[in-house]
Chain A
């Protein structure tokens, strides 16, 4: 029982990160229909910048976190400005390939700056793990889950209660309609990249003390976050959160009960099953893609 709980807790931790990556996918997808495969790099950048500011430059915790989030947001902004906006023909496949290229470039830059070693820093709060029915849960795990929950709530409020959020959703549903009602679609696309980068950074900052962080974690995070997002049906925030936790827990159980080398296969197998049974479920129908082109 306690062993199972232990696996469950570590699954929840990593699942929370997948959920945040999935949410990041959804933010951009909701405004543009683009699948941003550089989403994982945002998480890595968040964690590594946090290390840079707090450990290497010895800045206070909150300031380091804030700077890491803002800088990652800036990278999201630059990515949109330099690689997405200039593209004249907004072909969806082309845009997705651009995001892959961006992720490769970002990885190169990260390796150049940070090398191949993993980094970590102290958990947010000191203290012993909490014992629950014989299983131990680290305080940082509670932070990760708490922060993820907060992000989910903030996203929900943003997209459903604020004019800006509604306008962003409107862009995805019908960019032409959005334009004629006075919504600056290009601006919304930019905001979506910044928000999603910042969301990734938050996840990276929270999880690095538990999982460590190195320059090439991005692609795996992206694959799993993407899997979480399609499990819930792309564009649905709640779905991707649930998907993220399911993948995290399944991975952790697989690693614990079967073999730790097998855990990365879980997300891929889930993805293949989805692709196999509902190939259209991932992107919606072709006409919807056409309608959503911005």
Chain B
């Protein structure tokens, strides 16, 4: 069974169609990336999966269950977490509070102790966050904020982690660190859905990828096959 199946998804903002009859499916435990130019509809796709943006038509299934009508704050309980474009941290709260709020939906079922344990696991992944746990999130550097945004999403212990341009605005060294973390998470059998401007880097680490063009699915294939595709090379990999 596919982890996620998107059938005939169309999304509009006002009159403008951002996604047109999109069909996408991918398997569990893989790194899947979505590439495409600015405005192709990549963020819209993730936001629609998360039900932040309503679908005009079409259906979305997660582990065989139809999730199109499930509210955002419920989806996280099903195992879907989003690291949104622009990070969207609670910038006035501390690092620790941001992490704890990431597990807000689980406080009652897990209890405080388990939530702290999860935070410890995030700190292991990003030791700098532990050092700065009492710092206000808005005062962190860009890289640290991205780590915190990922950490916050991990607090829900998701099956599927969706990341919307996690490398945006980061120095190459940091980008590498972030990618390594993503690979590490995947090696622990977390499924990853990644949006990335740097198509080459994304395809290199992806098991599978989809290419969006003006809201349409233009191409799909394994990371390796798309890396060698002449058309993709020309359009997204700089020749």
Contacts and interface: CB of A to CB of B under 8 A. Distances in A.
Contact of A177 (B77, B89, B100): B89
B82 A180 contact: yes
B128 interface: no
B88 interface: yes
A177 B153 CA distance: 11
B85 to A, nearest CB: 11
Interface stretch (A148-156, A165-173, A204-212): A165-173
Contacts of B207: none
B97 interface: yes
Contacts of A177: 84, 88-90
Interface stretch (B9-17, B34-42, B104-112, B190-198): B104-112
Chain B CB within 10 Å, residue with most, of A167, A170, A173, A179: A179
- Chain B: number of interface residues, binned into ranges: 20 to 34
Interface stretch (A89-97, A182-190, A219-227): A182-190
A39 B152 CA distance: 36
Nearest to A180: B82
B101 A180 contact: no
Given A163-B104, A176-B52, A177-B88, A182 B82 contact: no
Contacts of B90: 169-170, 173-174, 177
B225 to A, nearest CB: 32
Contact of B101 (A170, A184, A185): A170
Contacts of A56: none
Nearest to A184: B73
A167 B153 CA distance: 15
A179 B73 contact: yes
Contact of A179 (B72, B106, B156): B72
B91 A181 contact: no
B201 interface: no
Contacts of B100: 163, 166
B93 interface: yes
B97 A182 contact: no
Nearest to B72: A179
Grouping DSSP codes into helix (H, G, I), strand (E, B) and loop, the A interface class, with mixed when no group exceeds half, is helix
A182 B157 CA distance: 12
B102 interface: yes
Contact of B72 (A166, A167, A180): A180
B95 interface: no
Interface string B76-89: 11000110100011
Interface string B140-166: 000000000000110010000000000
A159 B97 CA distance: 12
Contacts of A167: 101, 104
Given A166-B93, A181-B101, A182-B156, A176 B88 contact: yes
A181 B104 contact: yes
Interface in B45-90: 50, 52, 71-74, 76-77, 81-82, 84, 88-90
Nearest to B115: A163
B92 interface: yes
Contacts of A183: 73, 101, 104-105
A287 to B, nearest CB: 14
B93 A182 contact: no
A181 B105 contact: yes
Contacts of A178: 73, 101
A182 B51 CA distance: 12
Contacts of B93: 166, 169-170
A23 to B, nearest CB: 19
B88 A182 contact: no
Nearest to A174: B88
A180 B104 contact: no
A176 B53 CA distance: 10
Interface in B115-129: none
B209 to A, nearest CB: 24
B52 A179 contact: yes
Contact of B84 (A166, A176, A182, A184): A176
B73 A185 contact: yes
A187 B73 CA distance: 11
Nearest to B84: A180
Chain A CB within 10 Å, residue with most, of B88, B89, B91, B106: B88
Contacts of B97: 166
Ranked 5 nearest A-B pairs via Cβ: A182-B105, A177-B88, A179-B72, A182-B76, A170-B90
13 contacts: A163-B104, A170-B90, A174-B90, A179-B52, A179-B72, A180-B73, A180-B76, A181-B76, A182-B74, A182-B102, A183-B73, A183-B105, A184-B71
Given A170-B101, A182-B77, A184-B71, 10 more contacts: A166-B100, A167-B101, A169-B90, A179-B73, A180-B72, A181-B101, A182-B74, A182-B76, A182-B102, A183-B105
